[in-house]
Amino acid sequence: MESLLSDVTVLDLTQAVAGPYCAKLLADYGAEVIKIERPGTGDVARRIGPFPNDVPHPEKSGVFLALNTNKKSVTVNLKTETGRRILRGLVPQVDILLESYRPGVMAKWGFGFDDVRRLKPDIVVTSISSFGQWGPYRDYEMTELIAYAMGVGMHCTGVPDREPLKLAGTATLFQAGNTAAVAAIGAYFGSQADGVGQHVDYSIMEGQASSVDRNGASLMAMAYAGEPTFRRAFGRRFSVLPFGAYPCADGYAHFTSAQQAWWPIFCSMIGMPELSEDPRYTGENFQNLDLAEEIDELFLPWILSHAKREIMELCNEIAGSPINTMEDLFADPHFRQREFFVEVDHPAAGPMEYPGPPFRPAATPWKKGRAPLLGEHNEEVLTGRLGYSRTDLAKLARMGVI
């Protein structure tokens, strides 16, 4: 059975996180993704842990393996004219070209959008960069921390009397890959309709600043009401109902209860149904935050005596949930029953479990496949698509081109 993007071919000239995640999403839904890597070293993500038993190995990086499922790896040294000739041969055979070089590098090598369009008029080129292809910051280097800081996210995260905080991990880069994938495939369908290719300029910084989380809400508050952004402990509490992270018997649980209709359910849950009729906490007093501490004093003994799983089952009618650890998530029966985590075997790293499909088309399945070994598909692609013989490939390898 064909997948959603079975007819799409992608040339992936990206590395690290954002670009590879973008290409992974396309590959996992059926696109043929040819990943171009540097001979000998490959994608920088191959050197990023975790590694099995903490022993670095270019074929065993958990980050690389997760971000490059279902792709083909071809090694090409684009700093050589011969390498660029190989790329010029591949461009007319693909629908989408993804790249994450610094602005100007592709044009310097003869692969600016106008150059590429002459080779394939309906091609879509998606450029993922720190600050975009033009503007005062175009040539600035950026890390995920810088994106989160400059995009207002840090100013909105943390508690009022402490320094701003960054979200753990690399959420900004995964968000960039996610959005760039949507942009690339949208532009592709447009090019199929009118036969005209286009250049998609994706700025990680702009993607972060316009995100739909607290950044976007804070920008709208400033634009529409002149209100500055703020940090508030445990988020923003709206009523006497518990709000935020609380300790429980085996970890932490989170509550975002705010609706008055949940008040009697909450009172019954903690074994105090009489509170639901107590005038001190009903009517207008329900939103009196001066009373929140009183409720927390009643709530804490209850939550400390219950485990996370119990709390989740008791809170199925109000907004309360466990704060899962990684172990909790892997063991969760809901995800296990839906077979969200999939085991994929790899010739170097062995079998490992990976997160599965973010969405499931009913008639066009998600693909389960491993990440490639470095240069694993050199012969398949360079011989099959460009006609190079094995003798040619051996010579190119000796020259350092592949």
Predicted confidence band at 159 (pLDDT cuts at 50, 70, 90)?
A: confident
Class for domain 243-323, per CATH? alpha beta
Least confident of 201-205, 224-228, 327-331, 387-391: 224-228
Render pLDDT for 9-68 as a digit per residue (tens, 0 to 9).
999 999 999 999 999 999 999 999 999 999 999 999 999 999 999 999 999 999 999 999
Nearest to 29 by CA among 365, 358, 339, 354: 365
Render pLDDT for 161-170 as a digit per residue (tens, 0 to 9).
788 888 888 8
Nearest to 108 by CA among 99, 126, 237, 295: 99
Cβ atoms of residues 228 and 222 within 8 Å? yes
- Look up tokens 């399945």; give the residue: 365
Distance separating alpha carbons of residues 56 and 171, to the nearest angstrom = 24
- Look up tokens 């390498």; give the residue: 83
Q: What is the pLDDT of residue 1?
A: 62
pTM: 0.90
Q: Please tell me whether residue 253 adopts helix, strand or coil conformation.
A: strand
Please give the mean pLDDT across all residues of the chain: 91
Distance separating alpha carbons of residues 85 and 387, to the nearest angstrom = 13
User: How far from 310 is each of 247, 256, 266, CA to CA, in Å?
Assistant: 13, 17, 14
Q: Other CB atoms closer than 10 Å to residue 256's CB: what's the count?
A: 17
Cβ atoms of residues 4 and 361 within 8 Å? yes
Strand partners, 98: 12, 126
Q: Please tell me whether residue 351 adopts helix, strand or coil conformation.
A: coil
Cβ atoms of residues 244 and 234 within 8 Å? yes
Q: What is the pLDDT of residue 22?
A: 98
Instruction: Kindly report each contact of residues 341-349 with a partner whose C-beta sits within 8 Å and lies 24 or more positions away, as own/partner.
Output: 342/368, 344/69, 344/368, 344/369, 344/370, 345/370, 346/59, 346/65, 346/370, 346/371, 347/59, 347/373, 348/57, 348/59, 348/60, 348/373, 349/52, 349/57, 349/59, 349/60, 349/65
Q: What is the pLDDT of residue 8?
A: 97
Dihedral sign, Cα of residue 18, residue 179, residue 186, residue 373: positive
| Per-residue pLDDT at 110 exceeds 70 | yes
Contacts of 102 (CB under 8 A, 6+ apart): 129, 139
Locate CATH 3.30.1540.10 in the chain: 243-323
| Per-residue pLDDT at 99 exceeds 90 | yes
Q: Could you tell me the CATH superfamily of domain 9-212+338-398?
A: Crotonobetainyl-coa:carnitine coa-transferase; domain 1 (3.40.50.10540)
Calculate ∠ Cα 366-368-372, nearest 5°. 130
Render pLDDT for 324-346 as a digit per residue (tens, 0 to 9).
999 999 999 999 999 999 999 99
Locate CATH 3.40.50.10540 in the chain: 9-212+338-398
Cβ atoms of residues 234 and 252 within 8 Å? no
User: How far from 367 is each of 1, 29, 30, 379, CA to CA, in Å?
Assistant: 11, 6, 6, 23
Strand partners, 34: 11, 72
Nearest to 97 by CA among 76, 111, 77: 111
